[in-house]
């Protein structure tokens, strides 16, 4: 493992690193993943809680479900993996986090450049986007159990997250593509590589010759294209990789 960490450190010691993260990044903070056997979608039908149709059928249930999830997220703390990703900024000239997570834990850990492909559970918007995409509205208190009306048009408000059947935020997607094109290496942490179009960024990077290192405790679709795979959780392996990078810099 030591040799593998050292090789990964050499690959990631670049002027511009992209860190691409999924739900496994936050698992050690006590937050469930989505697609694992014991994940969120094993207990809750995504078409009921993460689709425009589900919101139209039962807006109150969806609203309350997201309030509960936001409460869980607010009670969680960034884990050692989040903190190690933030600390990479002290070693490398530019680090950009592209995340599929909606929890905001990267920002709470100290990462300064974070692109949220799937939005944020901490923001709310008009369900009709009456003033454009997205029409952001005040974030409700956790005890607000009924959907609030949009202050501009009166339509119901909803979390500013990407649901099944919806497009990713256009400007965020464009920014993510720009970062992938500009970087020299990508560190992938805690994602199955199954969720599109987000996962296509990893293949896009590899197809353009970017170095690719993966951290994940289980086999994924990305294993075959990664130059180095570090088997383990984000909280275990990311600090170890940070230490390997720091040792590399200390030796220079």
pLDDT at 38 over 60: no
Residue 194 and residue 221 in contact, taking contact as beta carbons nearer than 8 Å? yes
| Percentage of residues of the chain with pLDDT beyond 70 | 95
Q: In this predicted structure, what is the pLDDT of residue 70?
A: 95
Task: Give yes or no for a contact between 86 and 111, defined as CB atoms under 8 angstroms apart.
Answer: yes
84 vs 164: CA distance, rounded Å: 31
Q: Is the pLDDT of residue 118 over 80?
A: yes
Residue recorded with tokens 């990479």: 88
Q: CATH 3.30.1600.10 residue ranges in the chain?
A: 32-75+124-161
pLDDT band (50, 70, 90) for residue 49: confident
Give the helix ranges, DSSP H, for the chain: 2-12, 40-43, 46-49, 52-57, 59-75, 80-87, 105-109, 170-182, 200-207, 234-251
Topology adopted by domain 1-30+78-118+168-252: Rossmann fold (3.40.50)
Place of tokens 């075959």: 224
Predicted pLDDT of residue 48: 81
pLDDT band at 160 (very low <50, low <70, confident <90, very high): very high
* Cβ contact 59:156 at 8 Å: yes
Q: Is 10 a catalytic residue?
A: no
Selecting among 10, 106, 118, 249, the annotated active-site residue is 118
Residue 1 pLDDT greater than 70, yes or no: no
How does pLDDT run across 225-245, given as a tens digit for each residue? 999 999 999 999 999 999 999
**What is the third-level CATH fold of 32-75+124-161?**
SIR2/SIRT2 'Small Domain' (3.30.1600)
**pLDDT given for residue 87 in this prediction:** 98
Query: Which residues are CB-contacts of 62 (< 8 A; sequence separation ≥ 6)?
Result: 48, 49, 54, 55, 158
In the chain, CATH 3.40.50.1220 sits at 1-30+78-118+168-252
* DSSP sequence for 141-161: PTT--SPPBPTTT-PBEEEEE
Q: Is 89 exposed, middle or buried (0-12, 13-18, 19+ CB in 10 A)?
A: middle
Q: Is 250 exposed, middle or buried (0-12, 13-18, 19+ CB in 10 A)?
A: exposed
Give the model confidence (pLDDT) of 179-229 as tens digits: 999 999 999 999 988 888 999 999 999 999 999 999 999 999 999 999 999
User: CA angle, corner 64, sides to 50 and 27, nearest 5?
Assistant: 60
């Amino acid at each position: 493992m030591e040799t593998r960490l050292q090789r990964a450190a050499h690959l990631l010691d670049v002027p511009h690193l992209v860190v691409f993260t999924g739900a496994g990044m936050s698992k050690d903070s006590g937050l469930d993943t989505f697609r694992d056997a014991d994940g969120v979608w094993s207990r809750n039908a995504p078409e009921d809680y993460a689709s425009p149709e589900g919101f139209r059928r039962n807006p109150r249930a969806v609203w309350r479900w997201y309030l509960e999830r936001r409460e869980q997220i607010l009670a969680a703390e960034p884990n050692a993996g989040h903190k190690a990703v933030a600390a990479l900024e002290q070693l490398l000239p530019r680090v950009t986090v592209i995340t599929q997570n909606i929890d905001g834990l990267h920002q709470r850990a100290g990462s300064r450049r974070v692109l949220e492909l799937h939005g944020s559970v901490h923001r709310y918007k008009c369900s009709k986007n009456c003033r454009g995409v997205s029409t952001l509205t005040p974030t409700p208190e956790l005890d607000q159990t009924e959907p609030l009306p949009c202050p501009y048009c009166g339509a119901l408000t909803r979390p500013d997250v990407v649901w099944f059947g919806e497009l990713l935020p256009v400007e965020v997607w464009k920014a993510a593509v720009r970062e992938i094109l500009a970087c020299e290496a990508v560190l992938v942490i805690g994602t199955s590589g199954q969720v599109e179009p987000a996962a296509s960024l990893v293949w896009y990077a590899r197809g353009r010759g970017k170095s690719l290192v993966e951290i994940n405790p289980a086999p994924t679709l990305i294993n075959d294209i990664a130059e180095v795979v570090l088997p383990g959780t984000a909280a275990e392996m990311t600090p170890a990789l940070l230490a390997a990078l720091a040792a590399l810099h200390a030796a220079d």
